[in-house]
């Protein structure tokens, strides 16, 4: 199901991207392709995960806002509401931080993981972080699988 | 005095439940990591939490790298015509590869 949804959304995004600029230089095309794919896979999981919301809000910050609005299929102000929600959630959780004894190596690995999962630094408890990481990995695998098929289609 | 002991007992049991949750999640994570999964002869083989987290980080990094490389390849392969002209056929072919 996620695979179908991703393919549909990615194709729509690609169409929108290539519509905007006819003669794109290769590097721009690479960014457009990657952005379309990242936003598409994230939008298949926005209702249940925070990594996906972080991907979309980062895309909003970094790229042309109009482009992202049309390709994420969400209105601008609803994306902004999502950003605010994420920030609010993280603020609420920090006030109840539990002190759990962990070995230094586990602490440092968790720190690295937070940096790799989008929005990971806003996640305060380990259980949520691990859940987000699992969902993120599953989604990345779908993304890679489809992009690989696409590449073999055109080679 | 007694309320302090009671509340610290509560906190201890709460963190025990949390520990169990984390252990369960790490076990599930272990199942989907290719490196560890292929090396373990049985799923019940214990791998340290630190190792699981380390493998998770490497795996995420390699998947992200793959996405970047694939975007590179596709930027050379895809042109406006490819995507627009036969989109339905492209989607069908992608869906059939299962």
- A75–chain B Cβ distance below 8 A for any pair: no
Task: Look up the ipTM and state it.
Answer: 0.81
Report the alpha-carbon distance of residue B76 to residue A151 in Å, rounded: 10
- The residues of chain B scoring below 50 in pLDDT are none
**CB-based burial, B27-49: b 16+ in 10 Å, e otherwise:** eebbeebeebeeeeeeeeeebeb
**pTM for this predicted structure:** 0.79
pLDDT at B12: 75
pLDDT at A72: 66
Report the alpha-carbon distance of residue A62 to residue A125 in Å, rounded: 28
- The vertex-A145 CA angle with A143 and A149, nearest 5°, equals 115
Cβ contacts of B77 on chain A, cutoff 8 Å = 151, 154-155
- B24–chain A Cβ distance below 8 A for any pair: no
Divide the 155 residues of chain A into consecutive groups of 10 and give the mean pLDDT of each group. 92 74 71 90 92 91 62 56 56 52 87 96 92 96 94 84
- Could you give the C-alpha distances from A100 to A103, B7, B81, in angstroms and in order? 10, 16, 56
Residue in the structure block whose two tokens are 């720190």:
A111
């Amino acid at each position: 199901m996620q695979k179908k949804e991703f393919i549909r959304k990615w194709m729509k995004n690609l169409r929108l991207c290539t519509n905007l600029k006819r003669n794109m230089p290769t590097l721009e095309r690479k960014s457009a392709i990657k952005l379309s794919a990242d936003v598409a896979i994230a939008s298949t999981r926005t209702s249940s995960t925070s990594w996906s919301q972080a991907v979309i809000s980062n895309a909003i910050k970094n790229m042309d806002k109009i482009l992202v609005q049309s390709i994420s299929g969400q209105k601008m102000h609803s994306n902004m509401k999502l950003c605010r929600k994420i920030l609010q959630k993280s603020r609420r959780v920090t006030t109840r931080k539990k002190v759990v004894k962990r070995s230094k190596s586990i602490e440092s690995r968790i720190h690295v993981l937070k940096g790799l999962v989008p929005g990971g630094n806003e996640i305060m408890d380990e259980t949520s972080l691990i859940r987000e990481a699992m969902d993120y990995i599953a989604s990345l695998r779908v993304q890679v699988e489809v992009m690989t098929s696409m590449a073999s289609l055109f080679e | 005095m007694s309320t302090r002991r009671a509340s610290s007992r509560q906190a201890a049991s709460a963190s025990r439940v949390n520990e169990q949750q984390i252990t369960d999640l790490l076990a599930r994570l272990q199942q989907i990591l290719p490196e560890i999964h292929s090396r373990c002869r049985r799923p019940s083989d214990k791998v340290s939490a630190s190792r699981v987290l380390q493998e998770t980080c490497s795996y995420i990094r390699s998947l992200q790298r793959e996405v970047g490389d694939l975007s590179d390849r596709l930027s050379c392969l895809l042109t406006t015509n490819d995507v627009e002209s036969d989109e339905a056929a492209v989607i069908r072919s992608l869906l059939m590869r299962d």
